[in-house]
Structure 1
């Protein structure tokens, strides 16, 4: 069984998230995207757990859930997940066997208030969190490992320093890809996951990164086996230059710096703002090789950009405008779902519907996008002529 899975999102109970992050809306919008499996996110928040219990139905004790079939035909299924922040402000992603297990785990952690945020701040280190996760048969790994604020590598030079043991996967994050990560020798032994970390249910956010995976069966055990055996067929995600922390840059004026020049300036911009070390700069510090050395089982990494953002770029209209959304809906009506349009629909067929769109899709399918890179908290932008 081959599925498209986004295994890291947040609910409406996390800070700075859409109030529309509820199970019904997530299921409907994920169908539009073309996702077969999506994370619940925030599975230690009691109000969210109760809402999940009221809204979702477990399928035959598999740890896989669905909404009522009347909500969305062939609706996207759910898997129980949460992200945790440890006492070093490092983020960890847990994939949990079931909602019931999530309830049981809540009391195991040292935390001031588990319900203060969908992503709780745990007063424990990575090794302690991993021990609890393993006790409850969870899958665990570092979330967006290179992110300069909350990724594992902002604090440690190796994964083992954090966990004292090998986690089950590494999540790359929006500002990196397999080519960048595989310049670091210690990462060759890990399954790479690419997930959206979405705070919104709309298809230009949810599923903006996802994994094409082969499962023996659609179940928690099937997913765990696929990750542990690295049965990822392909990773899909941003061109890392689109990530908002790809280059080293000022968080105030967004000027880009070479990492060595930035450090010589004590990370202080000419404008007086703070320079934030980018993912590319941090990888250069950690790299074992100048060019990627992929292990034999590393799947391809295909760049992907949200369809509505591409439409917005080529037509110079806002993502949420009626102009863009009408064209978006028309493409889905003709070709099925967003992933199908972005990856599989022949360029000639797209050209008949939207010639401008066909050109930019053809460019990123061939890794030919011209990108003004992200830095200092500002997303990269596609330069389109």
Structure 2
């Protein structure tokens, strides 16, 4: 069975997360998105585990169900050197045992626990308890594994189970790094709110024997992911090297000359694009035979907002989003499967925008420094100037 799964997200207990990020809200929104399996996030937080147990029914083999939506226990851990790791957990008993064993001072405060364990210790702890583990948003400059290590094996000591690409990278970028040729790639939302422009903004299409932890583990171990769906990496907020204050895009060589300090006084942060170029072994990606397609998309509400130059939460955007969902059932179907002519009967401009995603004919202002990129549906909008050696 083909299942759309989003494993990495956060509960209401995580810093900067919406108070609405609870099971009762996540389940119906995930169904509208078109997801069939959702990570719980924050599964080492004792209070969140209590809420999961109180809210869901246990379907067996690690699956917790509410309102016809299946959940698997997952968590993100901030380890040594502020590196983030994703862990997929077999069941509630193991989650509570891991929570007890992980040395951390904030487990009961923040949904994302901080620990002084490095990748080696975390992998050992996870594998001792039959969990799956891999780096979260592996290339991002603040908390990605590759910000501190040139090799994934230097971080973990041995092979972890997967690599999460993050919003600022895709398969073409990651497959220029030769050591990743044997890893399955996961694409997850890292959502902090339950709304469909956050939940499932990246997801994995997997072939599962059934909805169970055993099947999920088998699919990841056997690299049986059929497709990765995610944002165009240029849209990611850490894709390009840029100032974290004024968001000016800056050539990495110029940034080094500036000692990573912008003339506005802000800090310049190295982009995912440049970081991958530093560790890449190939100029062009070399995809292993098992590597599935990577399909670029963008949340439907954000497409509508960009086309009509409105806020995502405005009545105009939400009304049109709801009209499309009423017509075609799920957002993922609208973005990927529904005939463009049928979408055009609802709104021709939105149909044209979705077509540009499907045909890969987008014009994008890249993101960087913590600011998301923008799609130039309106051609008269001017692109920002990149600071290079020629104009520095």
Give TM-score scaled by structure 2 length: 0.95
Q: What is the aligned counterpart of 2:217 among 221, 224, 230?
A: 224
Counting only pairs closer than 5 Å after superposition, residues 98-177 of structure 1 correspond to structure 2 as 98-177=91-170
CA distance in 1, matches of 2:309, 2:273: 30
Aligned counterpart, 2:7: 7
Local SS of the residue matching 2:324:
helix
Aligned counterpart, 1:353: 346
Name which of structure 1's ranges 120-129 and 173-182 shifts more when overlaid on structure 2.
Answer: 120-129
Aligned counterpart, 1:79: 72
CA distance in 2, matches of 1:42, 1:176: 24
Local SS of the residue matching 2:181:
helix
Work out whether 1:380 is the aligned partner of 2:373.
Answer: yes
Q: What is the aligned counterpart of 1:93 among 86, 91, 94?
A: 86
Q: What is the aligned counterpart of 2:178 among 185, 188, 196?
A: 185
Local SS of the residue matching 1:79:
strand
Task: Provide the aligned length of Structure 1 versus Structure 2.
Answer: 378
Counting only pairs closer than 5 Å after superposition, residues 248-263 of structure 1 correspond to structure 2 as 248-263=241-256
Work out whether 1:275 is the aligned partner of 2:268.
Answer: yes
Q: Deviations over 1:59-115 (max 9, x none)?
A: 1x2211111xxxx4xx32100000001121100000000122101111211212321
Work out whether 1:291 is the aligned partner of 2:290.
Answer: no
Aligned counterpart, 1:63: 62
CA distance in 2, matches of 1:87, 1:294: 31
Give unmatched runs, 5+ long, in structure 2. Answer: 379-392
Counting only pairs closer than 5 Å after superposition, residues 360-375 of structure 1 correspond to structure 2 as 360-375=353-368
CA distance in 1, matches of 2:198, 2:258: 36
Task: Give the drift of 1:116.
Answer: 2.2
Q: What is the aligned counterpart of 2:311 among 318, 335, 344?
A: 318
CA distance in 2, matches of 1:313, 1:124: 42
Q: Deviations over 1:328-365 (max 9, x none)?
A: 11111111100000000011111111001011100011
Aligned counterpart, 1:23: 23
Q: What is the aligned counterpart of 1:213 among 206, 217, 234?
A: 206
Q: Deviations over 1:203-222 (max 9, x none)?
A: 00000000000011210000
CA distance in 2, matches of 1:324, 1:365: 21
Q: Deviations over 1:30-55 (max 9, x none)?
A: 00000000000000111101000100
Work out whether 1:266 is the aligned partner of 2:253.
Answer: no
Local SS of the residue matching 2:82:
coil
Task: Give the drift of 1:122.
Answer: 0.9
CA distance in 1, matches of 2:65, 2:109: 27
Give unmatched runs, 5+ long, in structure 1. Answer: none
Q: Deviations over 1:173-231 (max 9, x none)?
A: 00000000001101111000000000000000000000000011210000000011111
Task: Give the drift of 1:321.
Answer: 1.4
Give TM-score scaled by structure 1 length: 0.97
